[in-house]
């Protein structure tokens, strides 16, 4: 039950935050995204966040920022171990629609 609540919260957060996504319209990015591409990227981000919370077993998936752009997923943030970094990347790659993953996750520094 707790896992379902976490997944539902992650989906809701992904949908809510999708409106805050940065829109890159530079020539190097291939131009601006259509509304369909933007919505697809937001949906992909939500799917990856859900996969991180469930498949990767990251109870602290909220500390991982996920951004998607035309099938390229970028993971940023901190996790508890090197193993979690690998599990997060594997979970993101397994999501349908993900073409590649840029894994910028780091292990939390010891406090």
Report pLDDT digits (tens) over 50-76.
999 887 777 656 788 999 999 999 999
Percentage with pLDDT > 90 across the chain: 43
Count the alpha carbons within 13 Å of 90 in the hemisphere toward its beta carbon: 11
Q: How confident is the model at residue 31 (pLDDT cuts 50, 70, 90)?
A: low
Tokens describing residue 41: 């990227």
Domain covering 2-107, topology: GMP Synthetase; Chain A, domain 3 (3.30.300)
Contact criterion met (CB below 8 Å) for 21 and 57 = no
So what's the pLDDT on residue 11? 62
The crossing angle, in degrees rounded to 10, of helices 82-93 and 35-54 is: 140
Q: Is the pLDDT of residue 28 over 60?
A: no
Give the SS3 label for residue 22. Answer: coil
- pLDDT confidence bin for 26, thresholds 50/70/90: very low
Does residue 96 or residue 7 have the better pLDDT? 96
Which residue shows structure tokens 């039950």?
A: 1
pLDDT digits (tens, 9 = 90+) for 80-93: 889 999 999 999 99
What Å distances lie between residue 103 and 9, 30, 69, 90, 107, CA to CA? 23, 22, 14, 10, 12
């Amino acid at each position: 039950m707790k896992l379902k609540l976490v997944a539902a919260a992650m989906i809701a957060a992904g949908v809510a935050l999708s409106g805050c996504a940065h829109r890159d319209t530079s020539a190097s990015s291939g131009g601006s995204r259509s509304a369909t591409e933007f919505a697809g990227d937001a949906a992909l981000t939500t799917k990856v966040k859900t996969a991180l919370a469930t498949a990767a077993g990251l109870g602290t998936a909220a500390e991982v920022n996920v951004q998607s752009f035309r099938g390229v997923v970028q993971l940023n943030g901190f996790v508890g171990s090197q193993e979690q970094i690998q599990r997060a990347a594997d979970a993101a790659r397994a999501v349908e629609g993900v073409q590649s993953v840029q894994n910028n996750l780091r292990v939390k520094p010891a406090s």
